[in-house]
């Protein structure tokens, strides 16, 4: 895994140790969100069934949000002096969720799978926040970034969950 800090020193009040820990945590979050983005996009392409049109458009919104978030997470890694996970192999290795392989699930099963993955992603970010909160000096940037991202993911998880309720 490429978590190496760049050699250039910064004078922004954070220590190298804090940045190294932040980069490790954010690279883990990057891996999960990258695979989640890919999976949602693949579902968007391959779904079939009577609910195709509305779900196709809905998943379009989800993966576009995930693309923006993946970009922002990766840029946080760089801003802290780290190097991002740099291949699909590394993303998969760093991710807490599995990619979609083989036969495509039904639309309801896609929604169930994504709900599970969104919840895994939220738990991972919550754990990262708990660790970041113990670091001194505090990496407020990543802390606030993740707290904001958790709230937005919780909203999408609610949408997924509501779709499954009868
Ligand atoms: Fe599309």
Average pLDDT value for the chain: 94
pLDDT for res 36 = 98
Q: What distance in angstroms lies between residue 45's CA and the mean position of ligand 1's atoms?
A: 7
Q: What is the mean pLDDT of residues 154-165?
A: 95
**Mean predicted confidence (pLDDT) in 63-80:** 97
The pLDDT assigned to 165 comes to 77
Tell me how far the alpha carbon of residue 126 lies from the centroid of ligand 1, in angstroms.
30
Distance 14 CA to ligand 1 centre (A): 41
d(CA 126, CA 78): 21
What DSSP element (H or E) covers 30?
helix 16-46
User: Degrees (nearest 5) of the Cα angle 157, 52, 121?
Assistant: 20
Q: Domain-by-domain residue ranges, the chain?
A: 16-97+104-164
Q: How far is the CA of 162 from the centre of ligand 1 (A)?
A: 23
Within 10 angstroms of residue 95's Cβ, the number of other Cβ atoms is 25
CA dist 119 and 110 (Å) reads: 14
Name the token pair of 74: 């990766």
Ligand 1 centroid, distance to 35 Cα (angstroms): 17
CA of 54 to the centre of ligand 1 (A): 12
Domain 16-97+104-164: which CATH number of 1.10.10.60, 1.20.1260.10, 3.40.30.10, 1.10.540.10: 1.20.1260.10
Read off the pLDDT of residues 106-116 as tens digits, 9 standing for 90 and up: 999 999 999 99
Interval between CA 123 and ligand 1 midpoint (Å): 28
Question: Do 153 and 118 form a contact (C-beta atoms < 8 A)?
Answer: yes
- The mean pLDDT value for 138-161 works out to 97
Write down the pLDDT at residue 11: 82
What is the per-residue pLDDT across 6-41, written as a single tens digit (0 to 9) for each?
656 778 899 889 999 999 999 999 999 999 999 999
What is the Å distance from ligand 1's center to 42 Cα? 9
CA of residue 60 to ligand 1 center, whole Å: 6
* Residue among 110, 81, 114, 93 at smallest CA distance from 30: 93
pLDDT reading at 5 higher than 90: no
Q: For 162-166, what is the mean pLDDT?
A: 84
DSSP string, 37-91: HHHHHHHHHH--STTHHHHHHHHHHHHHHHHHHHHHHHHHHHHTT-----SHHHH
Q: Which residue has the tokens 């099963």?
A: 109
Is 58's pLDDT higher than 90?
yes
Distance 119 CA to ligand 1 centre (A): 24
| Over residues 54-79, mean pLDDT | 97
Residue 50, pLDDT above cutoff 70: yes
Percentage with pLDDT > 90 across the chain: 89
């Amino acid at each position: 895994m490429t978590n190496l800090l760049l050699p250039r020193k910064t004078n922004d009040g954070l220590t190298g140790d804090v940045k190294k820990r932040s980069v490790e945590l954010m690279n883990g979050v990057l891996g999960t969100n990258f695979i989640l983005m890919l999976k949602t996009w693949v579902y968007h392409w391959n779904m079939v069934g009577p609910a195709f049109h509305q779900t196709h458009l809905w998943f379009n919104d989800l993966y576009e949000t995930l693309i923006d978030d993946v970009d922002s997470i990766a840029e946080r890694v760089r801003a802290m002096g780290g190097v991002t996970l740099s291949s699909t192999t590394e993303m998969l290795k760093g991710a807490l969720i599995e990619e979609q392989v083989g036969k495509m699930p039904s639309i309801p099963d896609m929604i169930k799978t994504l709900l599970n993955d969104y919840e895994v992603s939220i738990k991972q970010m919550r754990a990262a926040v708990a660790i970041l909160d113990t670091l001194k000096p505090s990496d407020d940037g990543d802390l606030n970034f993740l707290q904001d991202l958790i709230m937005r993911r919780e909203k999408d998880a609610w949408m997924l969950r509501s779709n499954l309720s009868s």
